[in-house]
Amino acid sequence: MTESDPEPNPAHKRRPRYRGTHPRTFGEKYKELAPEKYPDLVEHVKQRGMTPAGQHVSIMVDEVLAALDAQPGERGVDGTLGYGGHASRILERLVPGGRLLGLDVDPIELPKTEARLRKLISDDSALLVRRTNFAGLRAALFEVGFGDGVDFVFVDLGVSSMQIDDPTRGFTFKVDAPLDMRMNPARGVSAAQWLERVSIEELTRVLVDNSDEPFAERIAREIDRRRGSLLTTRALADAIREALPKQVDEDEGLRSTRRVFQAVRIEVNDELRVLDGLLRALPECLRPGGRAVVLTFHSGEDRRVKRAFEAGVKDGVYSTVNDDVIRASPEEQRANPRSSSAKLRWALRP
């Protein structure tokens, strides 16, 4: 080709083909996965009370913002950046002069979220991002020059919809996929590998401690019986359903399946140990008058946060905590059923 030759026409790229009149699987929902190109379609999906594919509807945003009470010029931490829904609203309250450190362990979603947030801010220095879990909060603060602490720390312990809904991540049983469940797929063992080697006794304990599963022992024994074949999300879901008593109806069976998937995910990602590490480090990460706000999604998490905050009051490292847990409003629970299990607690440094 010479300099005078015209540029060849780019090849036309057809939209993904799918069966039926509407896309059904995650990968087929190309409009929802490109919200900047199809904002009207994405808003329509949200108005129907659904979460667009590849996105996440942040939970209890107004309640979180009220508890954080972020002010212009302050610096703080969003310890679970996720899709960036909470962070985008927090950043609005920090201008001018404030800075937000966002942490997340997910190497797949974090770059997307950082790029999305940077398009929303005029001062690029207002946002700092590090790939680590929140147990590494203290080290991250020193790394970015916040060694004397921050004015607030927020942590949302829920799994983002982008992770749950993407079948390649192995978090959901709605479609058949490799049983992975790791927040960082490059580290640790997958859920399938963990289930292959865990004992019946340990698995029973995990199902009770991590999700209060009433049929924990029956399910653990059925999983043990099927060792070597539990490689996909559907295989695990089938094992759970087979283990349940015959009188358990379909709805209760689905609840057990969700609880087991939750319990395994928590164990694979060592979530409770990571949470305990954060709760120990939190007081020394806050400046005087600093606020800690934690959003939990099951009783095991909430008990840990409640006990740590109450112990902090007795030890004098916190001056005040909320006595009554804060829940999502009935309107939000109807619009976003994933908010129904959320509980918010906060603590204030003297």
Q: How many CA atoms lie less than 13 Å away from 152 in the CB half-sphere? A: 26
pTM beyond cutoff 0.75: yes
pLDDT, residue 168, reads 82
pLDDT, residue 56, reads 58
pLDDT, residue 217, reads 98
Residue 155: its H or E element:
strand 150-156
User: How is 53-90 classified by DSSP, letter by letter?
Assistant: TT----SSHHHHHHHH---TT-EEEES--TTSHHHHHH
Strand 320-321 versus strand 343-348 pairing type? antiparallel
Residue 34, amino acid: A
Query: Are 76 and 154 contained in the same domain?
Result: yes
CATH number at residue 192: 1.10.150.170
In a domain, 277, yes or no: yes
Query: Are 261 and 277 contained in the same domain?
Result: no
In a domain, 166, yes or no: no
Q: Rounded to an integer, what distance in angstroms lies between the CA atom of residue 302 and that of residue 187? A: 27
Chain-centroid distance of CA 114 in Å reads: 16
Q: What's the longest Cα–Cα distance across the chain? A: 79
Is the four-CA dihedral 100, 137, 114, 179 of positive or negative sign? negative
pLDDT, residue 212, reads 92
SS3 for 8-21 is CCCCCCCCCCCCCC
- The b/e string for 248-268 (b: 16+ C-beta within 10 A; e otherwise) is eeeeebeebbbbbbbbbbbbb
pLDDT, residue 19, reads 60
Residue 292: its H or E element:
strand 286-296
Residues 158 and 328 sit within 8 Å (Cβ to Cβ): no
Query: Are 285 and 263 contained in the same domain?
Result: no
pLDDT, residue 3, reads 43
pLDDT, residue 11, reads 53
Question: And the tokens for 45?
Answer: 């999906």
Where does a domain end: 268, 296, 319? 268
In a domain, 188, yes or no: yes
Identify the bridge partners of residue 127 per DSSP, sorted by sequence position: 100
Residue 128: its H or E element:
strand 127-131
Identify the bridge partners of residue 102 per DSSP, sorted by sequence position: 78, 129
In a domain, 32, yes or no: no
Query: Are 157 and 277 contained in the same domain?
Result: yes
In a domain, 231, yes or no: yes
- 281: domain range? 61-161+272-348
pLDDT, residue 41, reads 53
> Low-confidence residues of the chain, pLDDT below 70?
1-56, 161-162
Residues 134 and 278 sit within 8 Å (Cβ to Cβ): yes
Chain-centroid distance of CA 247 in Å reads: 34
pLDDT, residue 17, reads 59
Structurally, the chain folds into a number of domains equal to: 2
Give the pLDDT confidence of 192-224 residue by residue, as tens digits: 999 999 999 999 999 999 999 999 999 999 999
In a domain, 244, yes or no: yes
pLDDT, residue 29, reads 47
Residues 257 and 249 sit within 8 Å (Cβ to Cβ): no
